[in-house]
Amino acid sequence: MTVTVTGAGGQIGYALLFRLASGQLLGPNTPINLRLLEIPQGLAAAEGTALELADCAFPLLASTTITDDLTRAFDGVNVALLVGSRPRAAGMERADLLAANGRIFGPQGAAINAGAASDVRVLVVGNPANTNALIARSHAPDVPADRFTAMTRLDHNRAVAQLSEHLAVPVGDIDGVSIWGNHSASQYPDVFNATVRLESGGRRVVRDLVDERWLTEHFIPRVAQRGSEIIAVRGASSAASAAGAALDHVHDWVNGTGTGPGEWTSAAVVSDGSYGVPEGLISSFPVRSVAGAWTIEQGLTVGDFSRSRIDASVAELLAERDAVAALGLLAAE
């Protein structure tokens, strides 16, 4: 499999590539031809990472190509991880990156359209991730729209971790958490369909175990603002946890998620109109991967509180879409 990682010389790239090459992206039996795309000023850092990748002698790493050429980077690609872009600093919102980073993803979408393999899957990590994925997809008209996704798996993992800490239960005993909307402060971490497995073997619904005040005043803001919290504490945006989430997203996409009750995850995918989210918008939903394709979990309970939170985040996505359209970053339909 050919895997292209953009921004390979950056901090997420450094946290991602060794785990990817060890087999954590596609599994222990899939050799990888790695393409590292950087801008000229990032090539040296990517070359340094490539030297260390070689020194790890990973059995699954078949080849490594470093380039600043889009055509070469995406020729025959099966999995594209679009990380390369500017991170925000303290005091910024992710949408502040819209103009600077948005310009990156149109040409990369066009290069994917021109040269990718027919089974290509694209994960956009670069922020603002949902709208950057929309830009990339708009420039790839020959690629099925459902192959373009944006990362909200980090938010999903954060929500599960917060619940695990609050309820004092292992993360593996929590199912049914959903992230809705935009990977931004407006995101909605939803636990109203979540359950906890009991040691006795039964399950309890989370909404019976937490109070509304904790949800609205602690849980939701802590998850939604975690990116800013990390920037404030470590002085830079998340990297290793983001790399882990990217691996989780693609691994589950390719290998499948659980089929049992609540065994879904979260990803920003192209809406088909489900749950009233406008068609074509790339918004986070509860999803399962079935036969290698993300499918939106249907039939979940969405009460008035959840509805209002989802609508607010979707409204922000529509505003971002209009903003990038006004900047001429979306390809003509």
Ligand X SMILES: NC(=O)c1ccc[n+]([C@@H]2O[C@H](COP(=O)([O-])OP(=O)(O)OC[C@H]3O[C@@H](n4cnc5c(N)ncnc54)[C@H](O)[C@@H]3O)[C@@H](O)[C@H]2O)c1
35 binds, among ligand X, ligand LMR, none (CB under 5 to 8 A by kind): none
Token pair for residue 293? 């394709």
Token pair for residue 17? 């590539």
7 binds, among ligand LMR, ligand X, none (CB under 5 to 8 A by kind): ligand X
| Active-site choice (139, 156, 183, 251) | 183
88 is in an annotated binding site: yes
Q: Given the rule CB under 6 A, which of 22-30, 58-66, 192-200, 237-245 is the region that contacts ligand LMR?
A: 237-245
64 binds, among ligand LMR, ligand X, none (CB under 5 to 8 A by kind): none
CB of 150 to ligand X, least distance (A): 7
Residues at the interface with ligand X (CB under 6 A): 6-7, 9-13, 37-39, 42, 45, 83-88, 101, 104, 125-127, 129, 151, 154, 183, 237-239, 242
7 is in an annotated binding site: yes
CB of 93 to ligand LMR, least distance (A): 9
Q: Given the rule CB under 6 A, which of 9-17, 86-94, 132-140, 208-216 is the region that contacts ligand LMR?
A: 86-94
Query: Is 156 among the catalytic positions?
Result: no
Q: Rounded to an integer, what distance in angstroms lies between the CA atom of residue 115 and that of residue 22?
A: 26
Q: Given the rule CB under 6 A, which of 15-23, 43-51, 76-84, 236-244 is the region that contacts ligand LMR?
A: 236-244
User: Does 266 interact with ligand LMR (rule: CB under 6 A)?
Assistant: no
- In the complex with ligand X, the residue whose CB is nearer, 13 or 262, is 13
256 is in an annotated binding site: no
230 binds, among ligand X, ligand LMR, none (CB under 5 to 8 A by kind): ligand LMR
- Amino acid letter, 104: I
The answer to whether 115 touches 73, Cβ cutoff 8 Å, is: no
271: left (phi over 0), alpha (psi -120 to 50) or beta: beta
CB of 123 to ligand LMR, least distance (A): 13
Residue nearest to ligand X (CB): 10
User: Does 238 interact with ligand LMR (rule: CB under 6 A)?
Assistant: yes
- In the complex with ligand X, the residue whose CB is nearer, 32 or 98, is 98
Catalytic positions are 183
Q: Which residues are annotated as a binding site for NAD(+)?
A: 7-13, 101, 108, 125-127
Kindly list the residues in this chain that would bind ligand LMR in the complex (CB under 6 A). Answer: 87-88, 94, 127, 154, 227, 230, 237-238, 242
Annotated binding site for substrate: 88, 94, 127, 158
